[in-house]
Amino acid sequence: MPYASTNPYTGECSQEFPDHTSAEVESAVAQAEACFQQWKTTSFAERSAVLTKAASILRSRTEEFATLITLEMGKLIAESRGEVTLSADILDYYAQNAEAFLAPQELSPRNGAATIESAPIGVLFGIEPWNFPYYQLARFVAPNLMAGNVVMVKHAPSVPQCALAFVALFRESGAPEGAYTNLFLSNEDADRLIDDKRIKGVAVTGSERAGAAVAAQAGKNLKKSTMELGGSDAFIVLEDAAMDKTIEWAVWGRMNNTGQCCVAAKRFIVVESVADAFLAKFQSALSLLVPGDPMEASTTLGPLCSEAALLNLLDQVKRSTAAGARLVLGGGRVDRQGAFMQPSILTGIQKGTPAYDEEFFGPVALFFRVKNEDEAIELANDSKYGLGGSVFTADIERGKRVAARIDTGMVFVNHPTWTAPELPFGGIKNSGYGRELSSLGIQEFVNKKLVCVIPIDAPA
């Protein structure tokens, strides 16, 4: 797939970018390796200065960075601004906390003294998706640069200008050449880069299919990897939930980023006693969304990221209804220019059908009725995915008990799954492994080195 900026609202391609040649990739890897030898010796204060300046630039030029997101992948402009701010927050978070997170840990052995030290491992390779073009970069780049590693990134082919904007950001922030490198690569070129002995670790955010392929390639080379893959988050509504506020969060959880989010609320699991009321209110709220130019503040329904994404979602809905699911809202494309999907709700979903098993990446809500709390938990866990989830109830302790029984990497009570710099992010099962963000995210690609000093005359 070529690197090209195609506006999903207009369908117009404004710019294309060639892949880097083999010679250019080799030169870039050599430069990154040379940079690592210097960067790993810098102090936390020196690294922090670079990230702090980058965060300041993002905040001072939010509109410039946000506009690129909206033009390349169609995110509502207000959400694009929010993403820029979140990315700046992540850079600041690690600039301020990395030294404490990686401080030597003193142990208490029976003999002598022992310390666990955290050392950078080298050049890292990240493969990042289009749906949050800066946020995904920030949460990979910030902790690893602060740890003393250097990073190379293959960004999604549909957001090349966002990719280049981050290169310019770090150059302006004073990062040395080779500390942050963007590469326009084919999948085959990426495989070859993973094989390169100078690459010491690989991080992927993307589809289950992409993660499986990259994890296999990294494993063949005995290289550490992290995988943040797909999700089909459950949004559980118990009988005592505050209904009106729960509906607000249901709309936000499903429709944020036009539903193109790995931790979007996708499966709405509602106990029978409040199912009819929830469905009626949810349907009414989704019906009010207004499609239009994502650069306009009045627009509340943006386009999907591409025509191909829209066609794939339409096909999933078609296959689901053919398998017995019933549409109670939407189900088709919006009759206007752009890759717009109607806000949609599917009910009557049976086990073994597309709507039960697959991740729906767009504005399609999957609605399930259950008898009680136990059935809700059983259904929530009956998924190959295990990324996030949420439970809505007036009883917080009950919500925490339900959360403890849900098999995912993250569960929120009375809020859809979301992200913040200080909260670890990641999943289990086919949603991947490893964690990003928080104190956990900076530990993934460091050597936890034991240094043990024992008196020479100590007994064996």
Residues labelled as active-site residues: 228, 262
CA distance 343 to 366: 11
CA distance 51 to 276: 50
Q: Are the C-beta atoms of residues 162 and 305 closer than 8 Å to each other? A: no
Task: Say how many C-beta atoms besides its own lie within 10 A of residue 152's C-beta.
Answer: 23
Q: H/E element holding 14?
A: strand 13-17
Token pair 């009626």 is found at 280
Nearest to 136 by CA among 69, 60, 63, 36: 69
* Token pair listed for 320: 């689901």
Phi, psi of 279 (to 5 degrees): -60, -40
Task: Give the start-end residues of each E strand in 251-350.
Answer: 265-271, 326-329, 344-347
Residue type at 109 in one-letter notation: P
Residue type at 62 in one-letter notation: T
Q: Are the C-beta atoms of residues 228 and 426 closer than 8 Å to each other? A: yes
* Token pair listed for 44: 């936390």
Q: How far is CA 149 from the centre of its chain?
A: 21
Cα separation values, 300 from 9, 74, 280, Å: 13, 12, 20
Nearest to 396 by CA among 229, 238, 220: 238
CA atoms 75, 78, 79, 83: torsion sign = positive
Q: How far is CA 118 from the centre of its chain?
A: 26
CA distance 139 to 436: 7
Q: Are the C-beta atoms of residues 305 and 293 closer than 8 Å to each other? A: no
